[in-house]
Amino acid sequence: MDVLEAIKSRRSVRKYKPIPVEDEKLNRVLEAVRWAPSAGNRQPWEFVVVKDSGIRKEIAEIAPYGKFIMEAPITIAVAVDPSKDPTHYVEDGAIAATHILLSAHALGLGSCWVGAFGSTYENDVKRILGIPTSLRIVALVALGYPAETGTSMRKELKELVHHESYGRRVERTEKSKS
């Protein structure tokens, strides 16, 4: 799948078919996330792959916005080590999570980013997954075969893009570039 096509067609999936994800596809997703960019190439991330339904259920019960984790055959915790880059570790973890979302979609899988971490929720997930307290969890990503297709509305570029300075909204065309 073309990268732009993957970006435009990916949706957050919150309902999954009860079909296991093949190890080959999971490994391709993990290989894609390994190649995510990071500040100074520090690669401050670690990933915990959770297939066990009991563990997923335990996480789903405490996740304020992730009850669907129970349905997804896999959840990947994206943890980062602030000591590897105290300035950019959150951004690096977010980029890594995005690589999971896009590569999963390109392989025909659905996914959804679960965030909204408060200290209690994050600490509980760390305890459940045995993640050291020195690491931070940036996201949990539910992963599986989608049982639904979502829709997504997007603002027009002219509502988002400013040219040369904020507030200067000009629609650019091929003719106006010269």
3-state secondary structure labels for all residues of the chain: CCHHHHHHHCCECCCECCCCCCHHHHHHHHHHHHCCCCHHHCCCEEEEEECCHHHHHHHHHHCCCCHHHHCCCEEEEEEECHHHCCCCHHHHHHHHHHHHHHHHHHCCCEEEEECCCCHHHHHHHHHHHCCCCCCEEEEEEEEECECCCCCCCCCCHHHHCCCCCCCCCCCCCCHHHC
Placement of tokens 């690589």 in the chain: 99
177: pLDDT strictly greater than 50: no
Q: Tell me if 117 is assigned to some domain.
A: yes
Q: Tell me if 171 is assigned to some domain.
A: no
Placement of tokens 């996740």 in the chain: 63
Q: Tell me if 14 is assigned to some domain.
A: yes
Condensed to tens digits (0 to 9), the pLDDT of residues 12-62 reads 899 999 999 999 999 999 999 999 999 999 999 999 999 999 999 999 999
Q: Is the model more confident about 88 or about 118?
A: 88
Residue 144's nearest CA partner among 102, 110, 112 is 110
Around Cβ 124, how many Cβ atoms within 10 Å? 16
CATH number of the domain residue 143 falls in:
3.40.109.10
- Domain hosting residue 67, numbered range: 3-151
Q: Is the model more confident about 95 or about 174?
A: 95
pLDDT for the residue 172: 57
Q: Tell me if 7 is assigned to some domain.
A: yes
Q: Tell me if 173 is assigned to some domain.
A: no
Q: Tell me if 57 is assigned to some domain.
A: yes
pTM of the model: 0.88
Given a contact cutoff of 8 angstroms between Cβ atoms, the answer to whether 93 and 153 are in contact is: no
Q: Tell me if 36 is assigned to some domain.
A: yes
Given a contact cutoff of 8 angstroms between Cβ atoms, the answer to whether 77 and 47 are in contact is: yes
Placement of tokens 């650019």 in the chain: 172
Condensed to tens digits (0 to 9), the pLDDT of residues 3-17 reads 888 888 889 899 999
Tell me how long the chain is: 178
pLDDT confidence bin for 74, thresholds 50/70/90: very high
Q: Tell me if 169 is assigned to some domain.
A: no
- Count structural domains, the chain: 1
What is the Cα Rg of the chain in Å?
Answer: 18
